[in-house]
Structure 1
Amino acid sequence: MRRDRRFPPIWRVLLAFLAAPFVVAAGFGWMYPFDGQSPSNAAVAFKSAAIYLYAVLYPLMFFVGLPSYLTLRHFVKATPSYSASIGVISTLIPWVAIEMLFGPFKDEANGVAVHSSGARTAAGWLDFLVLGGWIVALGALAGLVFWVVAIAGHKSPEALVSG
């Protein structure tokens, strides 16, 4: 006998997919702002967050996050830990692929060479790992934001289990 499958309303899922990338964009806009001629750090961070959001995170959400949600909602229970792990995977895998394919996008960080003669230096690998740590943390937070917006207020989270 087939179990009753109840999923959150589509408006909650869409709102969650719009809200969760803001967490990552705000974090990256503040930590890794693009150089600009704005009068304040907040203005540079805001503009950087908008670029991250529209150029990177919304396409990533559309091509990775949405298919993950639509597929996994039939197989796993919607819990904060699963949502956080999907957030981590959705942000970490594309970033690692881009970093490995194209290498570092800068020659130095804080006055220290991060790559020399086409290869990463020790400082370059450390910079790679630190950025990866921030991506993991912000991806997990975005997954939790998704869970809070889409799942947490739904009438019966236990009913989100199928099979």
Structure 2
Amino acid sequence: MPLYAGLPTMAERVWRSALVYAVIGAYPPAALFGIPAYFALRRHFAPHITNCAIAGAVVASLPWAFLTLVNTPDQAIIDNRTTVINGSKTAFGWLMTAQLLGEIALFGALGGALFWAIAVAGSGAGKVRDGE
């Protein structure tokens, strides 16, 4: 039975499911990898949008890369094409894994760019003030 069984509206189902995914699946890995990445990169690299986007892509895709490498089912099929046979990924399985990680990395890069826009670009660092 799905987690949202018995909820009255579709909006309520979407909201509750998103909340569970965020609290269990998104926030802990973001804190576990993102906070150390922030402090490590802050010391060694300038806060450019490119650096923030790359860090966001790595932080977002690293937990999923770990999960896809560690957890492999015995058999799996996507779109009537076999992705896993006897616990080993096929070429199509690796392609699907790369596509998944690429999509996650893209959204992580967008998140890193948004972080840069909020934390760095809006901080006023490097701006010339009148009379100084």
TM interval, short-chain normalised: 0.7 to 0.9
State how far apart, in whole Å, the 1-side matches of 2:52 and 2:105 are: 13
Determine the structure 2 residue equivalent to 1:138. 107
Structure 1 residue runs without a partner (length 5+): 1-33, 159-163
**Correspondent of 1:64 among 33, 47, 71:** 33
Output aligned runs, 1:46-57, within 5 Å. Answer: 46-57=15-26
RMSD of equivalent CA atoms = 2.7
Q: CA deviation at 1:111?
A: 3.3
For residues 10-159 of structure 1, the aligned pairs below 5 Å read: 40=10, 45-103=14-72, 107-157=76-126
Deviation at 1:86, TM superposition (A): 0.5
TM-score (norm 2): 0.77
Q: Which residue of 2 aligns with 1:17?
A: none
User: 1:151 touches 1:157 (CA, 8 Å); kept in 2?
Assistant: no
Match of 2:130 in 1: none
1:157 CA displacement: 4.8
CA contact (8 A) 2:82 2:92 kept: yes
User: Which entry has the higher C-alpha Rg, 1 or 2?
Assistant: 2
User: Which TM-score applies when normalising by structure 1?
Assistant: 0.64
**Deviations along 1:82-141, whole A, 9 cap, x unmatched?**
100110111222221221111259822233332121111232122111101101111101
Pick 1 or 2: higher relative contact order, CA cutoff 8 A, min separation 6: 1
Secondary structure of 1:73's counterpart equals helix
4+ residue segments displaced more than 6 Å: none
Number of residue pairs matched by the alignment: 124
